[in-house]
């Protein structure tokens, strides 16, 4: 049996290899042989570390999700507006930290709708992302003295962000438009929200 450290190393190699191959040609077209070749391993060794290609995709989703959440947590400690702006910026720059990352996320989203094992991990990542936006929106609304439905606001913001990413990866768009639109959405929600000390709020 391979040593534990070797198992972790080989698994990491294969996860990176899947990301590379999948971003270039998609999940369905990525063969075990191509993944093994990108990892510098013999094809027969792949099944020593993952039972099948779907299990490898699940591991990649977990790996990307953990890295992504770590980067988002870098915004903690910032002032409310700066924090939310940073979260939006990080969401819309997923392709900067790792060239293959955006392509992988788009493939993962597509596969999550068809594969429950992938969908469960993806749902967990989305909930974690949304919870960070909820916290940031809550802090900003309090700083602005507004009463905001932060759950709905975070969901709308995520929809805009991921729509912008998908459009940017497939059809393009003016540089920076998604970040501008996302912040305009935030400002619009806050402007429409009642004041925290309005008579109707105080009466309730």
Per-residue pLDDT tens digits for 12-53: 999 999 999 998 889 999 999 999 999 999 998 999 999 999
CATH 1.10.357.10 boundaries in the chain: 52-195
Question: How confident is the model at residue 176, as a pLDDT?
Answer: 78
What global pTM score does this model have? 0.84
Name the band, by pLDDT with cuts 50, 70 and 90, for residue 91.
Answer: confident
Distance of CA 188 to the CA centre of its chain: 24
Those residues with Cβ within 8 angstroms of residue 147's Cβ, 6 or more apart along the chain or in another chain: 141, 193, 194, 195, 196, 198, 201
* Contacting residues for 164 by C-beta, under 8 A, at least 6 apart: 92, 173, 177, 178, 181, 182
Task: Say what the pLDDT of residue 122 is.
Answer: 95
Burial class (CB in 10 A: 0-12, 13-18, 19+), 58: buried
Strands (E), the chain: none
Q: Give the tens place of pLDDT for each residue, 131-156.
A: 999 999 999 999 999 999 999 999 99
Sign (positive/negative) of CA torsion 94, 97, 103, 107?
A: negative
Q: Where in the sequence of the chain do the CATH 1.10.10.60 domains occur? A: 1-50
- Give the homologous superfamily in CATH for domain 52-195: Tetracycline Repressor, domain 2 (1.10.357.10)
Q: How far apart are CA 168 and CA 12, in angstroms?
A: 29
Which two structure tokens, joined as six digits, stand for 14? 């294969």
Hey, what are 35's tokens?
């993944």
For 146, list phi and psi in degrees, rounded to 5.
Answer: -120, 150
Interaxial angle between packed helices 177-192 and 80-91, expressed in degrees from 0 to 180 and rounded to the nearest 10: 140
CATH of 1-50, one of 3.40.1390.10, 1.10.10.60, 1.20.58.100, 2.60.40.3670: 1.10.10.60
Look at residue 4 in the predicted model and tell me its pLDDT. 59
Quote the pLDDT of residue 99: 54
Rounded-to-integer distance, Cα 186 and Cα 204, Å: 25
């Amino acid at each position: 049996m391979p040593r534990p450290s070797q198992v972790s190393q080989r698994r990491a190699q294969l996860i990176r290899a899947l990301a590379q191959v999948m971003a270039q040609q998609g999940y369905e077209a990525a063969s075990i042989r191509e993944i093994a070749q990108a990892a510098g391993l013999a094809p027969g060794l792949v099944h020593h570390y993952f039972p099948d290609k779907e299990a490898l995709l699940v591991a990649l989703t977990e790996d990307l999700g953990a890295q992504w959440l770590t980067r988002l947590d870098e915004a903690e400690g910032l002032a409310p507006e700066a924090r939310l702006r940073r979260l939006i910026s990080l969401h819309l720059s997923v392709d900067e930290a790792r060239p293959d990352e955006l392509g992988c996320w788009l493939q993962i989203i597509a596969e999550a709708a068809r594969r429950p094992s992938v969908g469960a991990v993806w749902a967990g990542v989305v909930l974690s992302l949304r919870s960070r936006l909820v916290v940031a929106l809550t802090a900003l609304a309090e700083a602005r003295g507004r009463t905001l439905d932060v759950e709905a606001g975070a969901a709308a913001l995520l929809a805009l962000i991921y729509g912008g990413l998908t459009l940017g990866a497939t059809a393009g768009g003016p540089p920076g438009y998604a970040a501008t639109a996302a912040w305009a959405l935030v400002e619009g929600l806050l402007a429409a929200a009642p004041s925290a000390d309005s008579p109707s709020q105080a009466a309730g």
